[in-house]
A and B are shown apart, each in its own frame.
Chain A
């Protein structure tokens, strides 16, 4: 009995497991930064969509419809790669000489000096930005719809009080918009949380990659077979982890909803 407990305590705190626990930081970072950026891009997109100047309006609606029309994983892979190539292209125009270009045999980058090596931190930031871009398109629609559901009377009353257009926007329109946007934003947040499971596609050693490594059949020459294929157990842990995150997020959004709804009639929602 005691041996069992000792084995499990030792097993679950060995170096690889500690690395696994530490890798949760990548997931949390991507979710939090991606979520914040999604709200920022959503606000920008909704403002563009509401613009009186039609080219801006066109940019806003093109952004929200194109990005939502393709799978999130496609954009998630495309954006970091495209960004990296863009930077390398700019670098190449600065550092490459005809000699180094002639010496380069691979198709990309143009010369060896223009190669930009991306480590985990860079990929993590790029992944967060692309999460923000993808789900910002969803947030654009949510916020655009919420801006339109603010009762017109409220805005007219504010204008009648002599507020400027900017004051009406910031003090009345955006303040009252949240109560209509929160249910939709909560959905966007759930999508972002679920999309953080894709980080391993960008070579980030995140929780999914470590679950795969830890679960693979473990053979040590000194002790023999420690365990056979346990991958499904590790994935089950992640499955439960994500469900718990969803549960906690739901609670948090319910609390936020109550707070944002203070002083607003229930019928008005």
Chain B
């Protein structure tokens, strides 16, 4: 029992890195996803095709490869661009590259969710808004967006949890600098020291489970707030939507 508590203490600084990676990429990914979803739904064939292609490419390839690709691309520009500008310490830092790739990745997945929700916005409401003489901006602000976010929220919650799980592979693709270790690297190093796979990996798993539950709880609160106009707040249903 004592051993378990010290172990949980050892992992506490590590979980900060996972939370940082997720927290740094969620807001930007969200904004980018809204634009990508609107782009995919656009009537302009060029914009529509570009967003469609981007979403397909980043949903259709492994995050692990995306990490390697972006990092090696950044490395190859190092001598020519980053070094002369004096920003290579920043651009090549895992704490920058990690969120960058996660943003690119989660934007594609989230955009697909938002696009699905955009298609599910009730036609009649949009027509009514148009009949009231609302401009396109007003239509989006007052009719489409409130519907979209409510339809997409349960699936978006799952995506956020998946993103948090995806932070586990950041340091398998990027170099570990000093003591900046996330949960997986900590578990792996402790395992290599005393070969106790069951203890170290279970504690890392516990941390992942705990943070996921917190995310579910917080996003559930937001969902209740979003749905406050309905007489009986519908419970959030995750079960069929677990797969992204």
Is A85's CB within 8 Å of the partner chain B?
Answer: yes
Q: Is the CB of A197 within 8 A of B168?
A: no
Is A69's CB within 8 Å of the partner chain B?
Answer: yes
Q: Is the CB of A208 within 8 A of B69?
A: no
Could you mark each residue 63-74 of chain B with 1 if its beta carbon is under 8 Å from any beta carbon of chain A, else 0? Answer: 111101100110
Q: Hey, which chain B residues are within 8 Å of A228, CB to CB? A: 76
Is B81's CB within 8 Å of the partner chain A?
Answer: no
Is A243's CB within 8 Å of the partner chain B?
Answer: yes
Q: Hey, which chain A residues are within 8 Å of B89, CB to CB? A: none
Can you name the residue of chain B whose Cβ is closest to the Cβ of A185? B243
Q: Is the CB of A232 within 8 A of B62?
A: no
Q: Hey, which chain B residues are within 8 Å of A78, CB to CB? A: 197, 201, 205
* Interface residue from A108, A145, A190 paired with B240 (Cβ < 8 Å): A145
* Interface residue from B63, B193, B195, B243 paired with A184 (Cβ < 8 Å): B243
Q: Is the CB of A231 within 8 A of B60?
A: no
Could you mark each residue 191-205 of chain B with 1 if its beta carbon is under 8 Å from any beta carbon of chain A, else 0? Answer: 101111110010011
Which residues of chain A in 200-232 are interfacial with respect to chain B, using CB atoms and an 8 Å cutoff? 201, 208, 211-212, 215, 228-229, 231-232
User: Assuming A235-B68, A247-B60, is B191 touching A81 (CB within 8 A)?
Assistant: yes
* Interface residue from A70, A82, A215 paired with B209 (Cβ < 8 Å): A70
A: number of interface residues (CB 8 Å): 48
Q: Hey, which chain B residues are within 8 Å of A208, CB to CB? A: 64-65, 68
Q: Is the CB of B68 within 8 A of A231?
A: yes
Is A5's CB within 8 Å of the partner chain B?
Answer: no
Q: Is the CB of A141 within 8 A of B242?
A: yes
Is A107's CB within 8 Å of the partner chain B?
Answer: yes
CB pairs A–B below 8 angstroms (11 shown): A73-B168, A141-B242, A197-B64, A208-B65, A215-B72, A231-B72, A239-B61, A239-B66, A242-B62, A242-B65, A243-B61
Which residues of A does B touch, CB under 8 Å? 66, 68-75, 77-78, 81-82, 85, 106-108, 138, 141-142, 145, 184, 187-188, 190-191, 194-198, 201, 208, 211-212, 215, 228-229, 231-232, 235-236, 238-239, 242-243, 246-247
7 new A-B contacts at CB < 8 Å, known A195-B62, A232-B76, A243-B57: A74-B205, A81-B191, A138-B243, A187-B243, A194-B64, A198-B172, A243-B61
